[in-house]
């Protein structure tokens, strides 16, 4: 079965410092991996995805993520955090294969707090 | 700009009421989904639909039903609202090709009193 783990409920970082939000996954076959961000009382917004190719994926708002197949991880990173990055972040995985349909499986989410 | 529109941002309903949550997408997507979001639990799939008049149960379908009479519209129905259905409800859609992620609506925060 597909699953996603986000081991940290909350990540705190000072403005200007690099940030990392962790994600590990479990899936049979090749994964499609996604990061979404949610601001208070809003829906989820797409940040970036890994489908195939370069393991380092660049996305919106200066975020990037590194796919590591051996560690089954897809950590979200940003070189210099902004206060406006404070939000709830979700990692999601979709497995390749007709038996999985088009469903994404989401992690529980990680709250990112950036302090000035 | 393509979008998924949920008809209400905030709803307050009474216990036992029948509640309809509406979702419309303008992207001609085949697949539509209803999730509920609760603190610490992430997103949990309630129902989804791959095509018109087609529906499948997700992980937590109890107490809910859905309707998809037209491709662009996917309705979530709470047959008899209960206080434990107080939650944020998120609708999403995606085309058939698996390389695409979901496009989400802004969410409906439902309070059942």
Predicted confidence (pLDDT) per residue in A26-42, tens digit: 988 788 899 999 998 78
Q: What percent of chain A has pLDDT over 70?
A: 93
Find the chain A residues whose C-beta atoms sit closer than 8 A to any C-beta of B: 9, 32, 34, 36, 41-46, 49, 51, 90, 92, 94, 96, 101-104, 106-109
Q: Cβ–Cβ contacts within 10 Å for residue A94, how many?
A: 25
Alpha carbons B51 and B68: distance in angstroms, whole number: 8
Instruction: Report the pLDDT value the prediction gives residue B2, as an integer from 0 to 100.
Output: 62
- Using a CB-CB cut-off of 8 Å, the residues of chain A touching B4 are 43
What values do phi and psi take at B98, rounded to 5? Answer: -70, -10
Instruction: Report the pLDDT value the prediction gives residue B42, as an integer from 0 to 100.
Output: 86
Helices (H) and strands (E) in chain A, counts: 0, 12
Cβ-nearest to B98 among A9, A43, A96: A96
Interchain CB distance below 8 Å, A44 and B42: no
Cα B1 → chain centroid: 21
Instruction: Report the pLDDT value the prediction gives residue A31, as an integer from 0 to 100.
Output: 86
Question: Searching chain A, which residue's CA lies closest to the CA of residue B94?
Answer: A102
Alpha carbons B5 and B105: distance in angstroms, whole number: 5
Alpha carbons A111 and A107: distance in angstroms, whole number: 12
Alpha carbons B27 and B40: distance in angstroms, whole number: 31
Instruction: Report the pLDDT value the prediction gives residue A97, as an integer from 0 to 100.
Output: 59
Mean pLDDT of A86-103: 79
Give the strand pairing for A105-106 and A73-78. Answer: unpaired
Our CA-based measurement puts residue A69 at a distance from the nearest CA of chain B, in whole angstroms, of: 18
Instruction: Report the pLDDT value the prediction gives residue A100, as an integer from 0 to 100.
Output: 59
The one-character DSSP state at A90 is: E
**Which tens digit of pLDDT belongs to each residue from B59-102?**
899 999 999 999 999 999 999 999 999 999 999 998 876 667 88
Our CA-based measurement puts residue B15 at a distance from the nearest CA of chain A, in whole angstroms, of: 23
Mean pLDDT of A51-75: 94
Question: Searching chain A, which residue's CA lies closest to the CA of residue B107?
Answer: A43
Our CA-based measurement puts residue B66 at a distance from the nearest CA of chain A, in whole angstroms, of: 17
Residue A101 pLDDT greater than 70, yes or no: no
Alpha carbons B6 and B25: distance in angstroms, whole number: 9
User: Higher pLDDT residue, B112 or B96?
Assistant: B112
Q: Residue for token digits 């940030």?
A: A19
Q: Cβ–Cβ contacts within 10 Å for residue B49, how many?
A: 20
Instruction: Report the pLDDT value the prediction gives residue B106, as an integer from 0 to 100.
Output: 92
pLDDT band at A95 (very low <50, low <70, confident <90, very high): low
Alpha carbons A31 and A116: distance in angstroms, whole number: 36
Q: Cβ–Cβ contacts within 10 Å for residue A105, how many?
A: 21
Instruction: Report the pLDDT value the prediction gives residue B65, as an integer from 0 to 100.
Output: 97
Give the strand pairing for B23-25 and B19-21. Answer: unpaired
Our CA-based measurement puts residue A6 at a distance from the nearest CA of chain B, in whole angstroms, of: 10
The one-character DSSP state at B41 is: T
Interchain CB distance below 8 Å, A42 and B107: yes
């Amino acid at each position: 079965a597909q699953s996603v783990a986000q081991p940290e409920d909350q990540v705190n970082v000072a403005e200007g410092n690099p940030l990392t939000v962790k994600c590990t996954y479990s899936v049979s076959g090749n994964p499609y991996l996604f990061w979404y961000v949610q601001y208070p009382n809003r829906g989820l917004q797409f940040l970036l995805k890994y489908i195939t190719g370069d393991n380092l994926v660049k996305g919106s708002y200066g975020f990037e993520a590194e796919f590591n197949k051996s560690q089954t991880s897809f950590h979200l990173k940003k070189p210099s955090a902004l206060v406006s990055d404070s939000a709830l972040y979700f990692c999601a995985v979709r497995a390749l294969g007709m038996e999985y349909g088009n469903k994404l499986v989401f992690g529980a989410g990680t709250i990112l707090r950036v302090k000035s | 700009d393509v979008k998924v529109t949920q008809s209400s941002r905030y709803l307050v309903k009474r216990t036992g009421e029948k509640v309809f949550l509406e979702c419309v997408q303008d992207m001609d997507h085949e697949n539509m989904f209803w999730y509920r979001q609760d603190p610490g639990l992430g997103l949990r799939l309630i129902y989804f639909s791959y095509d018109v008049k087609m529906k499948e149960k997700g992980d937590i379908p109890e107490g809910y039903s859905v309707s998809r009479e037209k491709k662009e519209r996917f309705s979530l129905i709470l047959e008899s609202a209960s206080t434990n259905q107080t939650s944020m409800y998120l609708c999403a859609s995606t085309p058939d090709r698996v390389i695409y992620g979901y496009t989400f609506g802004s969410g409906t925060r439902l309070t059942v009193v």
